[in-house]
Amino acid sequence: MARPTRVVVDDALSAPGQAGLRLISRLTEAYAWLSGVAFTLQLLFLGTGHVRLLLAALVPVVLASWWLRPNRDSWLVALVEGLVAHGAVFVLPNPQPVIGFLFAVTVRRALHGDSERFPFKAVPALLGYLLGFGVWITITPVAVTGPLVVSVAMPLMGLAVGTMALHETVRSARLVEDARRTVDAVVRASPIGLVLLDAEGVPQLHNERARELLEWAAGEPGRVPCPHGPDITRCEHGCRSAEDPVEVGVTRADGSTGVLAVHAVPVEHVSERHTVVTALDVSKRREWEDALRTRAERDELTGLAGRTHFLHLVDQALSAGETVGLLVIDLDGFKEVNDAEGHEAGDWYLVSAAERVSRAVGPVATAARLGGDEFAVLAPGHDVRDSARLATRILSELARPLTGLGHETVIRASVGIAVSSPGAGTADLLRDADTAMYAAKREGGSRIRLFRAEMGERVLARQRDKADLRTAVFDGQLVLHYQPIVDLATSAATGAEALVRWQRPGYGLLGPGEFIGLAEETGLIVPLGNKVLAGACEQAMRWREQGRSLGMTVNVSTRQLSAPAFLPSLDRVLKTTGLPPERLTIEVTESVWADGAAMRGLMEVRETGVRVALDDFGTGYSSLSYLQRYPFDVVKIDKSFTGALSETGRTAGVVRCIIDLAEVLGAHTVAEGIETQAQADWLRNAGCAYAQGYLFGRPDLPENWATQPSAPR
């Protein structure tokens, strides 16, 4: 096995030819200096004439430029070299010393010069020599022979070729060196650890980042681990050839832990097999992923399992083929707690409920918060009896006295249970448990209900009812009937109350009591109410055109009034139909007082001139302060009072009080449910102005009103 060695990246990435290149550079420099000195001496001792002295003085100038400015070159020095080479041809007995000088300066320039210094600044010396040699041949009586030309040309050609080759070699070496330094800087600055392993898994090269990430000791590098063992090159699970990185846990020197993404790529060499390993610290990313996973799996407020994760757990339990009990728990009266105590108290209430549910189920089941005040419990292996016991334990735990809201209270809840059957899916099980829970709610809450098939049938029927009602609202199945409102003094009809009916295919004509609640639940009450309002106003105008002056009363729900679009819709209907506002009466119940938005809407309606009637007075939460603060134009006496007029004197006294109170407040009274003449006579004598009931006419289609007496226009 090769001895593990720490190889510094700078040395490891150095090309083998760098040392040789440095040696060539030193030898060339020494040769150039020696050639320069020898050339000076040859000019002094072998040259002829006084020009030799000048030329011998110029050569040291060139040498001095090498010394003083080794990495810079000027055209002045190049011209001096050309002058020396030109003159030396005439003063020396043969050209060899000149060629030696040319070789020295040109090779040195090729070795040290850049594209500006070489070859352009080598031209003056070569031209000086060639021109000098040409002049010398002209003025000297010497025969120009082939050997003479070869003796001059070949050295020059060799000089040109050699220096060009040397320059390209040096330039390439410098490019390699620049690239090496760039790679070295990138490797050193990289946040990724890099390791080169030999066939035995021993690190041959590595950067300092790899040492830090892999927690290698300061002495020698260790092994590169993988999730399956201490050596990634010996992993039998494919870590060395995996396309994606593998994650490896590491323990740092300070005792903390981290996660590395390690990727090993085999590299085949001629002599042996190597592996390049990259290591990246992904600890922060893993922390973020874990935090996101926790947020996805856990409810942020209560710490219980979240809805998505809980449904995944139900899927897994059902896939395992065992019996699964599912409980859906909804807190009773939570909205009142939230509204009365505030959202912070509501959150505390939910957290307290979650803690008690979790404590009640223990380790045998998983509790979750599905949303709002709805919780769920997954109980694998629980049949009907086990699930019922678990539900009882949960309700008992929730019912323990709870303090923290400034007073003692208990948490009440309704629980629905569904137990899996063969082939049941998560959605089916959750739907069944939810259905059972709503059944418990409808029965008064604070109880447990087990899902039964007939519950599902009722739910399906309810869903069909909702779909059919939507069709009825938008496809014209709603029919308006009108019941007369008569003046008790004259028995003439002064107005009519519009009452909606549903002509449901296959069911006949349905009264409002069979679908208004469903309309409220689904939100269809708003479009339904708008259609009734528009139809009633149109009918009032048709009667007006027929010469019958009848006011129109229309029931409006609290939800309609609280909608921002109600007032514009009302204004549009009045303008479209042309009905005077004072001929329209909006009828509301006492529940409007509990809704601030609806009350504001009602006051805005009254400012338009439309009259307002208070329906079923005395049967809800009547308040004299409300009556005084928000005056009504009409107060309607509920039929539960008028129907009992002959039974007790107390009822008669209450009705007298209502009539007198309305008179004090400046409102008219309308008595509902009048079926006998005795009732009508009593109410007229008591001061009641108007009445409606079967005695005067049942709700009917407008075309059947031909015989109905009415007040003169």
Residue in the block written with tokens 């019912």: 399
Highest mean pLDDT among 201-210, 341-350, 408-417: 408-417
Q: What is the pLDDT of residue 465?
A: 86
Q: What is the pLDDT of residue 457?
A: 77
Position 244, amino acid: D
Q: What is the pLDDT of residue 495?
A: 94
- The H or E element spanning position 203 is strand 203-206
More confident residue, 79 or 450: 450
Smallest Cα–Cα separation from 553: which of 565, 566, 571, 540?
A: 540
CA distance 66 to 58: 13
Residue in the block written with tokens 């329209």: 584
Least confident of 347-361, 412-426, 532-546, 585-599: 585-599
Q: Which residues in 47-167 belong to E strands, given as ranges?
A: none
Q: What is the pLDDT of residue 288?
A: 76
More confident residue, 192 or 363: 363
537 band by pLDDT with thresholds 50, 70 and 90? very high
Q: Could you report the per-residue pLDDT of 34-54, keeping only the tens digit for each? A: 777 877 787 787 777 777 788
Burial of 351 (0-12, 13-18, 19+ CB in 10 A): middle
Smallest Cα–Cα separation from 469: which of 428, 503, 432, 499?
A: 503
* Number of neighbouring beta carbons within 10 Å of residue 535: 19
Least confident of 179-183, 419-423, 667-671: 179-183
State the DSSP string of 489-517.
Answer: TT--EEEEEEEEEEEETTTEEEPGGGTHH
Prior bond of 699 cis (ω within 30°): no
pLDDT at 712 over 50: no
216 band by pLDDT with thresholds 50, 70 and 90? confident
Q: What is the pLDDT of residue 460?
A: 75
Position 204, amino acid: Q
Over the chain, what is the mean pLDDT?
Answer: 80
149 band by pLDDT with thresholds 50, 70 and 90? low
* Number of neighbouring beta carbons within 10 Å of residue 440: 24
Q: What is the pLDDT of residue 346?
A: 87
Hey, what's the torsion of the CAs at 149, 155, 157, 159, to 10 degrees? -160
Cβ atoms of 412 and 446 within 8 Å: the answer is: yes
Cβ atoms of 157 and 150 within 8 Å: the answer is: no
- The H or E element spanning position 613 is strand 611-617
Burial of 180 (0-12, 13-18, 19+ CB in 10 A): middle
Cβ atoms of 560 and 519 within 8 Å: the answer is: no
Q: Could you report the per-residue pLDDT of 360-416, keeping only the tens digit for each? A: 999 889 999 998 899 999 999 999 999 999 999 999 999 998 876 666 788 999 999
The encoded tokens of residue 388 equal: 């019922």
* Number of neighbouring beta carbons within 10 Å of residue 477: 16
CA distance 138 to 146: 16
pLDDT at 464 over 60: yes
Q: Could you report the per-residue pLDDT of 5-29, keeping only the tens digit for each? A: 333 343 444 444 566 666 767 777 7
More confident residue, 27 or 579: 579
Exposure string for 69-84, b = 16+ CB within 10 A, e = fewer: eeeebeeebbebbbbb
In this structure, what DSSP letter does residue 448 have? E
User: How many helices (DSSP H) and strands (DSSP E) are in the chain?
Assistant: 24, 19
Q: Could you report the per-residue pLDDT of 72-117, keeping only the tens digit for each? A: 667 777 777 777 777 777 777 777 777 777 777 777 776 665 555 5
Q: Sign of the CA dihedral 154, 167, 32, 75? A: positive
Instruction: Reduce the DSSP state of residue 100 to 3 states and report it.
Output: helix
Least confident of 144-158, 206-220, 257-271: 144-158
Cβ atoms of 673 and 636 within 8 Å: the answer is: no
Cβ atoms of 208 and 221 within 8 Å: the answer is: no
Hey, what's the torsion of the CAs at 568, 479, 668, 672, to 10 degrees? -150
Alpha-carbon separation of residue 615 from 512, 550, 636 (angstroms) = 16, 19, 5
Model confidence, pTM? 0.49
The CA-based diameter of the chain, rounded to the nearest angstrom, is 165
Cβ atoms of 24 and 32 within 8 Å: the answer is: no
* Number of neighbouring beta carbons within 10 Å of residue 521: 13
pLDDT at 615 over 80: yes
pLDDT at 147 over 80: no
Q: Could you report the per-residue pLDDT of 287-324, keeping only the tens digit for each? A: 777 667 666 678 889 989 998 889 999 999 999 888 99
CA distance 460 to 394: 29
Residues 6+ apart with CB under 8 A from 99: 129, 155, 156, 159
Bridge-based pairing state of the strands 413-419 and 448-450: parallel
Alpha-carbon separation of residue 20 from 27, 172, 487, 539 (angstroms) = 11, 14, 125, 111
238 band by pLDDT with thresholds 50, 70 and 90? confident
244 band by pLDDT with thresholds 50, 70 and 90? confident
Position 181, amino acid: R
Q: What is the pLDDT of residue 10?
A: 38
The encoded tokens of residue 196 equal: 């080169």
Q: What is the pLDDT of residue 118?
A: 61
Smallest Cα–Cα separation from 206: which of 219, 223, 220, 193?
A: 193
